[in-house]
Structure 1
Amino acid sequence: MEKMSAQAASWRQRFHLMPPRGLMNDPNGLVWFDGAYHVFYQWHGDSCRHGLKSWGHYASPDLVNWRSLPPALTPEHDYESHGCYSGSALVDGDDLLLLYTGNVRLGNGERASYQCLARSTDGVRFAKRGPVLSAPPSGFTQHFRDPKVWREGDDYFMVMGAQTVQEQGTVLLYRSDTPSSWHLVGDLLPVRDNGYMCECPDFFRLNGMDMLLFCPQGRQPEGNRFQNRYPSGYVAGRADLATATFEHDAFDELDRGFDFYAPQTMLDPGGRRILFGWMGLPEEEETPTVDDGWSHCLTLPRVLEWREGRLWQQPPVELQALRGPVVAHGRHSLDGELSLPGLVGECFELECEIEPGEASRCGIDVRAGGDAFTRIEFDSANATLRLDRRASGTGASGVRTSPPLGRERLRLRVFVDCSSIEIFVNDGEQVFTARIYPPAGAEAIRFFSAGAAVLNEVRFWSMACARESAAGLEIAA
């Protein structure tokens, strides 16, 4: 790998999964198999532009210490001539199955999509079995991809992202008694309000509720909602898989930040539903790290819970193993700007609680230095939280805003890596994810308020994981 500039090297992540080189996008095939978590991902190793995709592969026994494995799928056959696109994994007896989309460009502006199967006995080397679904059903275009499979009893089920011939997005449900022969059950989203294409569907049950995650490309913004060009979210309700009928509530976003797409989940041995997302967006290629040969990363793992009528997301307890010694501070009055001893760094976890009190606004600046800072700000008048990265550094801009929150207390858990921020608000009621590219040396943390507020207990940990055990380790693949 070519030598990086000092600035770009400082943007390589320490505790997020990222590519050894080239472009990373969708997480694929999330699964617990043979004593390890497996995370596959879309990877174009020869370029930082979207192109001929393979499946990169990481594995971990504990969601903390990851090792890079050889690519699981690379384009070899006519049915995947232009890329092994997104899909999922399924444990089938002693074997691990991958179902994925084989992408074919036909040379006349048209495309063909094949849903393909590969099988492994060791979770590392996969034997391709070819297409198991060679065409979309009548009434749908070749924008037909991203199979997510699961098993219930003796039946296999699969959801597929799809587009009607009227160019409306939806999700189709398939069923089978074998993973190599599929039959359409029906359309899970027949009432159209999902843009022109639904990508990356994921169906599961959580705390008695049926959940469908998907990415409706082309959905229009609604006030502060769906501000990203490509939103990502979920509907929840009651599904009848025998008839593909799904009574559900309104679509809601999974993440209020700038850089979140293509989430996928897995069930772990303890029964937790764990999600990873791509910390990027489709067609976003000119990230500041491109000149140094890499682009994008994945989010931290998140444990999902359904309660109080919505999805809550929290980092798993295992991530505490990444913490260095704690720096703790007790209660402080806050009126103006406040810096606390020992709170400085480029990679850290920060927990705090703020009582806005009489303040019209209050919050935290992180990765601050010179004119640069990334701002987390509570607006008391509207009871909303804003992530403001207009001064974050190279290539970053814009503001994202939460829906209304409680006004009495604001609990924040903030993870900052070398070029990202993830904010878990009020125990995971809302989440903000964004890439940031601060200048070297921007490591200060400061609290602020306009008016009298109270900063309750603050806890801070440097995330000083060793490079040889970090996800960002540069491994030749």
Structure 2
Amino acid sequence: MSLLKEKDLLLIILLTIIFHYLRAVNCISVTNERYRLNYHIMAPAGWINDPNGFSYYHGEYHLFYQHNPDNATPGNIHWGHVKSEDLVHWKHLPIALSPDKLYDNGGVFSGSGIVFKNSLVLMYTGNANQSNGTYFSSQSQELAFSSDGERFIKYTNNPVIAFPPIDGGNAFRDPSIWQYKDMWYVILGNQNNLTQQGRALIYSSYNLHTWNYVGVLAESTGNFGYMWECPDFFELKGRYILLMSPQGIKANGDDYKNLYQTGYFVGSYNYQTNNFSHNNVFIEMDHGHDFYAAQTMEAPDGRRIMIAWMDMWESAYLEQEDGWVGALTIPRALTLSPSGKILQKPVDELRSLRTSTLLRSTINVKGVSKLLDARSAEILIKATFKSTVARVGIQIDIGNCSKVLAYLDKSNNKFVLDRGDNDPRKTLIDVVNRDNFETLKIRIFLDKSSIEIFLNDGGTTFTSRIYPSSTPAVYALSEGAVTRMKVVAYELKNIWKARS
């Protein structure tokens, strides 16, 4: 009998190992590598959207993401998982969470991660598909625990926050959790049932299991969307930042031209009264076509690090026919300028991607001047120009007579990112507040099917997907006058091949 029990135990262990292995294997495969990125986080195959659970545990960074392992479409959402020692070289781990409970059978939606009593704890939204004659879904907040950072057990008494407040709609999701003194807090996105406006809610807990509703942190007054997704609340230089991705903001001149935005309010906060005082100015975090659902974490050295989804809903995902969709941005360190604007700087660790110097030159440009051919590169430009210049920036030829233009239009001091004549979402934004200036710093990360642009030390950023049909040719651009450019370009390595 004891031998039988031992065999049964071994069988259970074996089946558990097989189960975890199968969860790590995608049921869809990549059929073409043409748009696969070299140094950005992607799923092994299938669909990816919001970054989740960004945290630091036992000497490693952990990052999760919304993931469909069975298809390159949204739906069937799991939590994919990668980890890294340096924010640069990432390793895929088995799928962390699957929609296998009644409270999350419609998807394991977005959330966050913290360390609690030597465990890595994930708090996420369970999306439950239910039917009482007609289909509907409900959303609640759940916990999952891991003692090794890889295998997660869902809390027996989930959900820990079962319902929104009485005036809250069913859209009740994306918990971001943090600790202040001896109390845990979580911020959640919600819609006010009465006004149909987006808002952010605060809950508190001493033990993570029992949560008390604190109240509304902030709410749209009619101009900032019908739903606030992926809220994040943190402190920078004594100021509090409410970062979120509102849905339903209408375009207004040069602002809010993307389908959905990610941005923030800056203000002061009183924990005793839950009063977040801000000037009601919503600042877009990124002005490119493909930036959404940003999430931050505090690194061990105190830096506030941010990563976002590098795609957008309702887009033409050209890689979809190749068995995958989506990626995440490079990690960016956030600081707050004296004027109250967030500055984004690619983390210093990314320098380890540099394998060789492709170009180091100082040139005078009028018209266009070819710099280099590159699929995966970091390009740093310092442009000095006269007041008579009309446009200054770069042109990238991506094949089939298609071009990507990124330039300062000096006539109105706006920076433009233009993906071509077929681009319905040409974006532009004020780059400086003064009328006369003569220098511009541009830092570009190019990675096969993506471009990330940082202007003037991260005061303005653009993130977009591009789809070259051949190796991109990068040109310096100056119209109307001669521009002097100091250019340095580095080839960047493929982190995924290095691990294979």
Q: 1:398 maps to which residue? A: 425
Query: Which residue does 1:356 correspond to in 2?
Result: 385
Instruction: Please give the secondary structure, in 2, of the residue aligned with 1:448.
Output: strand
Matched, 1:333 2:364: yes
Higher Cα Rg: structure 1 or 2? 2
Q: 1:449 to 1:456 in 2, by over 3 A?
A: closer
Structure 1 residue 440, shift from structure 2 partner: 2.2
- Alpha-carbon distance change, 197 to 3 in structure 1, aligned in 2, over 3 angstroms: closer
The match for 2:287 is 256
Q: Does 1:458 align with 2:484?
A: no
Are 1:440 and 2:484 counterparts?
Answer: no
Partner of 1:268: 299
Match of 1:141 among 163, 169, 173: 169
Selected match of 2:262 from 224, 229, 232:
232
* CA–CA distance in structure 1, aligned partners of residues 360 and 89 of structure 2: 30
Q: Which amino acid aligns with 1:177?
A: Y
1:468 aligns with 2:497: yes
2:205 to 173, 176, 186: 176
The corresponding residue for 2:48 is 24
Structure 2 CA distance for aligned equivalents of residues 415 and 47 of structure 1: 29
Structure 1 residue 355: Cα displacement: 2.1
The equivalent position to 2:242 in structure 1, one of 186, 196, 212, is 212
Deviations, residues 196-231 of structure 1 (Å, cap 9, x unaligned): 111000001011110110111101112111111211
Q: TM-score, normalised on structure 2?
A: 0.89
Identify the residue that residue 119 of structure 1 maps to in structure 2.
Answer: 145
TM-score computed with the length of structure 1 as normaliser: 0.93
Corresponding residue number in structure 2 for 1:417: 447
What SS class does the counterpart of residue 189 from structure 1 fall into? strand
Question: What residue is the counterpart of 1:161 in the other structure?
Answer: 189
Give the Cα separation in 2 of the matches to 1:317 and 1:256: 23
Answer yes or no: is 1:199 the counterpart of 2:199. Answer: no
Distance 1:80 1:210, change over 3 A: same
Distance in 2 (CA, whole Å) between partners of 1:21 and 1:232 is 26
- Could you tell me which amino acid in structure 2 is paired with residue 333 of structure 1? N
AA of the residue aligned to 2:306: L
Residue 194 of structure 1, CA deviation: 2.4
Q: Is the partner of 2:159 in helix, strand or coil?
A: strand
Q: Distance in 1 between matches of 2:397 and 2:232?
A: 35
- Percent identity at matched positions? 37
Question: How many Å apart are 1:149 and its aligned residue?
Answer: 0.3
User: Does the 8 Å CA contact 2:89/2:495 hold for their aligned counterparts?
Assistant: no
In 1, Cα distance between equivalents of 2:95 and 2:189: 24
Letter in 2 for 1:296: G
Q: Which has the higher contact order (CA 8 A, sep 6+)?
A: 1
Partner of 1:4: 31
Deviations 1:19-77 (A, max 9, x none): 11111000000001111011100001111221110000000000111100011100111
Q: What is the aligned residue count?
A: 461
* Selected match of 2:101 from 67, 77, 94: 77
- The residue type equivalent to 1:402 in the other structure is I
Q: Per-residue deviation at 1:190? A: 3.9
C-alpha distance in structure 2 between counterparts of 1:330 and 1:228, whole Å: 35
What amino acid is aligned across from residue 108 of structure 2 in structure 1? Answer: C
Q: Which amino acid aligns with 1:290?
A: Q
- Would you say the 8 A contact 1:346–1:367 is kept in 2? no
Aligned to 2:343: 312
Q: Residue 389 of structure 1 aligns to which amino acid in structure 2?
A: R
Q: Which runs of 5+ in 2 are unaligned?
A: 1-27
